[in-house]
Amino acid sequence: MKNIFALSILLLFAVACSKEEAAQPVEEAPVAEQTVVEEVPETEATEAAAEETIEVVEESAAEAEPEDEAIVLAVADTPQAPQAWKYKEGEHYTRMVPTQPTVGGADKVEVAEFFWYGCPHCFDAEAYINDWSDEKPANSRLVKMPIVWNPLAQLHARLFFTAEVLVRNGKIDDGRAFHQTVFQEYHRRGNQMATEAAIATLFSRFGVSQDDFESTWGSFEVDQKLRVANDLMRRYKINSVPTVVVNGKYRTSATEVGSYPGLIELIDELIVRESIR
């Protein structure tokens, strides 16, 4: 019985990559050219630029969270709350006080997934997040946010945002397929994409010209997205991935819940909490 308990504890903590793990040296794949990636500076100008992009969702942040309380609704169109919430603050998720900014506006409940392409747990969680996204509540939106802890993570974050812009501009047909391919390259083919040249080769496989890649890779828009990612990562206190933040207020992960299906169930419950507030 003791052995089973010990094994369950090990499995529980094996669903996240910590900031310290991501900082360990990574053996790079052979490349023709090495690119040095500068860390995103955290200057006053950076924070000012990030604030211009992020719309702050105002909340009564200091208000106590009700526990196991029946909620009487005044508006018929508002989602019905259960008689008792399944997941508990402080046990399954952390409420951030004050509530932090989100990427989009207050029209929908924002679910932000923080990840790193080099994290095997993020790779495992991808299928669950995608399945949830396909059938997510109409009043919610999913935002994927790469972490920028170190130079390699910053390089991968620039890769992600470059692809995001190219998808929007019609240069890449299927953004999800590209995203999944990057995970496959790292975890199945041993391609760590540790240089700009290696990343450009990956984009070329999706029909992106060298000119389109270079102009987007070094663009102000991608730089701005990196600044926002850095700002939100610090505001949300992201120390491991994958981590999910709901509406700039609730931070959680599969570690707290115990499984990826449980994490998805918790996300839905937190969306309901935000919908009836």
Domain ranges of the chain: 2-276
Residue 15 confidence (pLDDT) above 80: no
**Residue 103 confidence (pLDDT):** 94
Residue 197 confidence (pLDDT) above 90: yes
pLDDT in tens, 222-234: 999 999 999 999 9
pTM, two decimal places:
0.75
Query: Measuring CA to CA, how many Å separate 50 from each of 20, 41, 45, 193?
Result: 26, 12, 9, 27
Residue 142 confidence (pLDDT) above 80: yes
Residue 71 confidence (pLDDT) above 50: no
12 close to 260: Cβ distance less than 8 angstroms:
no
CA 67 from centre of chain:
27
Question: What is the CATH topology of the domain spanning 2-276?
Answer: Glutaredoxin (3.40.30)
